Amino acid sequence: MMTTPSTKPVVLLRPAPQKRDRIFTPAALSALNDVFTVIDLDDASNDEVFDKYLPDAFAIIGQPDLDAERLSRANRLKALINVEGNFFPNVDYAAAFAQGVRVLGCGSAYSQAVAEYSLGLAIDLARGISHQDGAMRAGSEKYVSESNTDAVLLHRASVGILGYGNLGRSLHRLLQPFHNTVRIYDPWLPAAVIEDTGGIASSLEETLSSSQFVYVFATATADSTHLLDGPALDLLPQGARLILVSRAAVVDYDALLERLTAGRFLAAIDVWPVEPVPEDSPFRTLENTVLSPHRAGGITQAFESIGDMVVDDLTLMARGLAPVRLQAAAPELVGRYRNKPVT
């Protein structure tokens, strides 16, 4: 329900494709309304009300279409907050930055959930947990050492991480007890940043060819589309474990399917070029693959932390202070992303 404007700063709440009640607990929404006049557009399907209040908006929670002309009408706008997790190409980011608008994202809210899930997938690939569960349900299980012929330890294994943002760093911290050798490929970071965390800054080729476990966290850009094509996948050692939990566009899935079918390596896949995955997808028949329906980060605790982060940072900004919990988009990078909404 929309509120009546008052002397409090105006916040336009239009979180689609996210849902208001998924990211804001009742307490967080109450706290937001205590400080701001919230124009709640969670259920609004047209732009009339949004455009009416846009000139008075202090902040926009969500990422509606904002070209330069529309932004020029937002004279009081201080923050544009993406609460879905992906920066979409429907905003003139250059115009926003030129107006002094902070572009903020909630990606870090998902990092712990995705990191823990990624670790779980790696252990599953190492020990065949879900595969043997299926075998027992089908009455075809093997016992003790017979069921462990291709099992390996994650402990002291060589690990590769592609992309060292929120997800890569969170996963790296979880790997500390396993005493891995960790090679990291991230062309957006100097080697010193990676080495200060105990990783080894490496090329893509070295990371792939030297790692028994490879985690893919690279973001989708024009440059990274099909980063893992056939020749790149061929660099993986025989029997390697590949964990895909970030952007599907980074991988050539036809090439991936061909190599998995040939038994070159094992994979756990949580992101797909088409979702839902078609019922007749050949990936569903692979025994060396753990299948996951894009669920690594989408848990209640992660969603609700987004609302808390928004309330904390907007409250700080209303006091004339800088936001500290949400992640500020870099003007040099945000326009490069080629992300799609997660439905």
Asked if residue 230 belongs to a domain, the reply is yes
Do 47 and 165 lie in a common domain? no
1: pLDDT strictly greater than 60: no
Do 38 and 89 lie in a common domain? yes
Q: Which amino acid is at 59?
A: A
Do 272 and 307 lie in a common domain? no
Q: Is 15 left (phi over 0), alpha (psi -120 to 50) or beta?
A: alpha
Average pLDDT, the chain: 93
Model confidence over 309-318: pLDDT tens digits?
Answer: 999 999 999 9
Do 18 and 31 lie in a common domain? yes
Q: Please give the structure tokens belonging to residue 297.
A: 């980060």
CATH of the domain at 89: 3.40.50.720
* Confidence band for 2, pLDDT divided at 50, 70 and 90: very low
- Please choose, from the candidates 116, 114, 94, 95, the residue with its C-alpha nearest in 3D space to the C-alpha of residue 106: 114
Asked if residue 5 belongs to a domain, the reply is no
SS3 label, residue 242: strand
* Confidence band for 4, pLDDT divided at 50, 70 and 90: very low
CA-CA-CA-CA dihedral for 307, 271, 186, 198, to nearest 10? 80
Asked if residue 4 belongs to a domain, the reply is no
Asked if residue 343 belongs to a domain, the reply is no
The whole-number pLDDT of residue 342 equals 58
Q: Please give the structure tokens belonging to residue 74.
A: 């937002």
240: pLDDT strictly greater than 60: yes
Model confidence over 66-116: pLDDT tens digits?
Answer: 999 999 999 999 999 999 988 888 899 999 999 999 999 999 999 999 999
Asked if residue 139 belongs to a domain, the reply is yes
**Cβ(309)–Cβ(325) below 8 Å:** yes
For 133, the domain range is 110-291
* Confidence band for 254, pLDDT divided at 50, 70 and 90: very high
3-state secondary structure 119-139: HHHHHHHHHCHHHHHHHHHHC
Asked if residue 342 belongs to a domain, the reply is no
Do 137 and 74 lie in a common domain? no
338: pLDDT strictly greater than 60: no
Beta strands at 79-82 and 37-40: parallel, antiparallel or unpaired: unpaired
Model confidence over 147-157: pLDDT tens digits?
Answer: 999 999 999 99
* Confidence band for 221, pLDDT divided at 50, 70 and 90: confident
Model confidence over 23-64: pLDDT tens digits?
Answer: 999 999 999 999 999 999 987 667 899 999 999 999 999 999
327: pLDDT strictly greater than 50: yes
Q: How many other CB atoms sit within 10 Å of the CB of residue 20?
A: 20
User: What percent of the chain is modeled with pLDDT above 70?
Assistant: 95
| Rounded average pLDDT over 230-253 | 96
DSSP string, 43-86: T--SSHHHHHHGGGEEEEEE---B-HHHHHT-TT--EEEE-SSS
Do 143 and 98 lie in a common domain? no
The whole-number pLDDT of residue 339 equals 60
Asked if residue 40 belongs to a domain, the reply is yes
Do 274 and 139 lie in a common domain? yes
Asked if residue 177 belongs to a domain, the reply is yes
* 162, containing H or E segment: strand 158-162
Query: How distant is the alpha carbon of residue 241 from its chain centre?
Result: 20
Query: How distant is the alpha carbon of residue 108 from its chain centre?
Result: 8
224: pLDDT strictly greater than 50: yes
Separation CA 10–CA 12 (nearest Å): 7
Residue 33: burial class (beta carbons within 10 Å; 0-12, 13-18, 19+): middle
* 326, containing H or E segment: none
**Count of structural domains within the chain:** 2
DSSP string, 79-121: EEEE-SSS--TTB-HHHHHHTT-EEEE-GGGGHHHHHHHHHHH
Do 51 and 102 lie in a common domain? yes
Do 260 and 324 lie in a common domain? no
Strand order in the sheet with 241-244: 200-201, 181-185, 158-162, 213-216, 241-244, 266-269, 289-291
The whole-number pLDDT of residue 104 equals 97
Sequence-distant (≥ 6) Cβ neighbours of residue 146 within 8 angstroms: none
* Confidence band for 343, pLDDT divided at 50, 70 and 90: low
Do 92 and 152 lie in a common domain? no
* Confidence band for 3, pLDDT divided at 50, 70 and 90: very low
- Please choose, from the candidates 176, 55, 47, the residue with its C-alpha nearest in 3D space to the C-alpha of residue 115: 176
Model confidence over 161-214: pLDDT tens digits?
Answer: 999 999 999 999 999 999 999 999 999 999 999 999 999 999 999 999 999 999
Do 29 and 157 lie in a common domain? no
**Cβ(130)–Cβ(137) below 8 Å:** no
Do 189 and 129 lie in a common domain? yes
| Rounded average pLDDT over 321-328 | 96
